[in-house]
Chain A
Amino acid sequence: MAAWKGLTTNVLSHETAIYENSFPVEGGTYENAGHVSSQIKALLKRMKISKEVVRRAALVTYESEINICSYARSGKIVLRVTPEHVTIEAIDEGQGIVDIELAMQEGYSTATDRIREMGFGAGMGLCNIKNFSDFFRITSEIGKGTHLKMVIRIDKDFDGI
Chain B
Amino acid sequence: MTLREIKELLDAEVLVGYDQLDKEIKTAFGADLMSDVLAFAKAGSLLLTGLTNPQVIRTSDVLDIAAIIMVRGKRPSPETLRLAEELLIPVLTTKYILFETAGKLYAKGIVGCMERVDDERAFS
Contacts and interface: CB of A to CB of B under 8 A. Distances in A.
What class of interface size applies to chain A in its complex with B? 20 to 34
Contacts, number: 93
B56 interface: yes
B10 to A, nearest CB: 22
Interface residues of B, number: 31
A96 interface: no
Interface in B6-45: 32-43
Contacts of B32: 119
A63 B38 contact: yes
Q: Which 6 A-B pairs have the closest CB atoms?
A: A34-B58, A119-B34, A160-B122, A124-B35, A122-B35, A131-B123
18 contacts: A30-B54, A33-B54, A58-B61, A118-B53, A119-B51, A119-B53, A119-B55, A120-B55, A121-B35, A122-B35, A122-B36, A131-B39, A132-B123, A160-B121, A160-B122, A160-B123, A161-B121, A161-B123
Interface of B: 32-43, 51, 53-56, 58-59, 61-64, 87, 113-114, 120-124
